Chain A
Amino acid sequence: MLLPLILPLSVLLLWQIATAREWLAPQILPSPLTVFWTFVDLVTSGDIVEGLAISLRRISVGFAIGAAFGLSLGIAMGRSAKLEQYVGPSLRAIAQVPSLGWLPFLMLIFGIGETLNYVIIAKACFVPITINTAAGIRNIPVHYVEVAHVLRLRRSAMLFRLILPGALPTIFSGIRLALGHAWIAMVVVEMLADTAGVGYMMTWGRTLFQIDIVIVGMVVIGAIGFLMDGGLRWIERRLRRWAPVHA
Chain B
Amino acid sequence: MRAEALLDTRSSLDIQAVSKSYRVDGKPREILRDIRFTVEPGELVSVIGASGCGKSTLLRLIIGLDTDYEGDILLDGRSIDGPTADRGIVFQEPRLFPWLSVEQNIALGLDSSGASPAEVKRIVTEHIEIVRLNGFARAYPHQLSGGMAQRAAIARALVSRPKILLLDEPLGALDSQTRAYMQDELLEIWRREKITIVMVTHDIEEAVYLSDKIVVMEPEPGRVCGIVSIDAPHPRRRGTSKFSALKDRVLSVLVRTQSAASAGLVRSHPAAQGGIARRYG
B interface: dominant SS: loop
Return the contact of A147 from the options B82, B95, B104 (Cβ within 8 A): B95
Tell whether, in the assembled complex, residue A153 and residue B111 are in contact, meaning their CB atoms are under 8 Å apart.
yes
Tell whether, in the assembled complex, residue A152 and residue B112 are in contact, meaning their CB atoms are under 8 Å apart.
yes
Return the contact of A157 from the options B88, B99, B101, B108 (Cβ within 8 A): B108
Min C-beta distance of A87 to chain B, whole Å: 28
Tell whether, in the assembled complex, residue B100 and residue A242 are in contact, meaning their CB atoms are under 8 Å apart.
yes
Tell whether, in the assembled complex, residue A244 and residue B142 are in contact, meaning their CB atoms are under 8 Å apart.
yes
Tell whether, in the assembled complex, residue B97 and residue A161 are in contact, meaning their CB atoms are under 8 Å apart.
yes
B109 contacts the other chain (CB 8 A): yes
B83 contacts the other chain (CB 8 A): yes
CA–CA, A193 and B108, complex, Å: 53
B98 contacts the other chain (CB 8 A): yes
Chain B residues within 8 Å of A168, by CB? 99
Min C-beta distance of B123 to chain A, whole Å: 14
B189 contacts the other chain (CB 8 A): no
B91 contacts the other chain (CB 8 A): yes
Q: Please list the 9 inter-chain residue pairs (A to B) with the smallest Cβ-Cβ separation, ordered nearest first.
A: A165-B99, A152-B112, A244-B142, A242-B140, A157-B111, A150-B83, A242-B99, A147-B95, A143-B95
Min C-beta distance of B155 to chain A, whole Å: 13
CA–CA, A244 and B142, complex, Å: 7
B197 contacts the other chain (CB 8 A): no
Chain B residues within 8 Å of A147, by CB? 91, 95, 97, 108
A82 contacts the other chain (CB 8 A): no
B232 contacts the other chain (CB 8 A): no
CA–CA, A23 and B65, complex, Å: 73
Return the contact of B98 from the options A146, A153, A154, A243 (Cβ within 8 A): A243
Chain A residues within 8 Å of B95, by CB? 143-144, 146-147
Chain A residues within 8 Å of B111, by CB? 151-154, 157, 161
Tell whether, in the assembled complex, residue B65 and residue A150 are in contact, meaning their CB atoms are under 8 Å apart.
yes
Return the contact of A151 from the options B93, B101, B112 (Cβ within 8 A): B112
Chain A residues within 8 Å of B108, by CB? 147, 151, 153, 157, 161
Chain A residues within 8 Å of B85, by CB? 152
Min C-beta distance of B170 to chain A, whole Å: 15
Given A152-B112, A242-B140, the answer on whether A165 and B83 have CB atoms closer than 8 Å is no
B63 contacts the other chain (CB 8 A): yes
B89 contacts the other chain (CB 8 A): yes
Contact with B along A125-152 (1 / 0, CB 8 A): 0000000000000000001101101111
Q: List 5 A-B contacts (CB under 8 A).
A: A146-B95, A149-B82, A150-B83, A153-B112, A166-B97
CA–CA, A173 and B85, complex, Å: 37
Tell whether, in the assembled complex, residue A240 and residue B93 are in contact, meaning their CB atoms are under 8 Å apart.
no
